[in-house]
Chains A and B, each alone.
Chain A
Amino acid sequence: KQEVTQIPAALSVPEGENLVLNCSFTDSAIYNLQWFRQDPGKGLTSLLLIQSSQREQTSGRLNASLDKSSGRSTLYIAASQPGDSATYLCAVKGDKIIFGKGTRLHILP
């Protein structure tokens, strides 16, 4: 049974720092993995989609990596800004779609 875990559950860092969010999954038989952000009271915003054949994807200050064999993905945020404060979710698609519970990120001005 696929399980997706995101650690830590919450993270506070000073503005300007680079940071890494982690996502781990137990079954490496996935088609793809996607990172989302969720702002309070809002829906999800898709950030980066990594197909199973890819190792990483980049968009602006965001870089997501995927290591299927170890069941890990990381989301790297460079030069963090207060506007990056949100909950970040990862989700994997295998025979089912499973979301992690998210990491609540707070960027301190």
Chain B
Amino acid sequence: EPEVTQTPSHQVTQMGQEVILRCVPISNHLYFYWYRQILGQKVEFLVSFYNNEISEKSEIFDDQFSVERPDGSNFTLKIRSTKLEDSAMYFCASSRTGGPLNQPQHFGDGTRLSIL
């Protein structure tokens, strides 16, 4: 069964540095998402992406964050200048149709981001 894959599984970065989290969505999916889960907290929606532009974003997704689909297969989340509070598990998801929570989504296993 096709899977969403995320790399790396664990990323350690110094505060203030830029970080890029990578995801390969399922190949025939058109909608892409990022979520995060701070340790012990709720899952939080960050952003959805369709047709090469952001279709929906949360208050968390400020100017420090950006997303890109640089080629036909990858979907990336960039955090420009990381803060301690960015430490979390970041999940990528994709779906064939619809927006966030409008259709069942397929999730990757996440990238654990640790900011030192």
B-contacting residues of A (Cβ < 8 Å)? 4, 31-32, 34, 41-46, 49, 89, 91-93, 96-102
Contacts and interface: CB of A to CB of B under 8 A. Distances in A.
B64 interface: no
B91 to A, nearest CB: 5
B19 interface: no
Contacts, number: 53
Given A41-B109, A43-B91, A44-B43, 11 more contacts: A32-B102, A42-B109, A43-B4, A44-B107, A46-B107, A49-B101, A49-B103, A93-B101, A93-B102, A97-B58, A99-B44
B25 interface: no
B104 interface: yes
Nearest to A44: B107
B104 A49 contact: yes
A46 B105 contact: yes
Contact of B107 (A32, A41, A45, A96): A45
Contacts of A89: 43
A43 B42 contact: no
Closest 6 CB pairs of A and B: A43-B107, A46-B104, A97-B45, A93-B101, A99-B43, A44-B107
A102 B43 CA distance: 9
Contacts of A32: 101-102
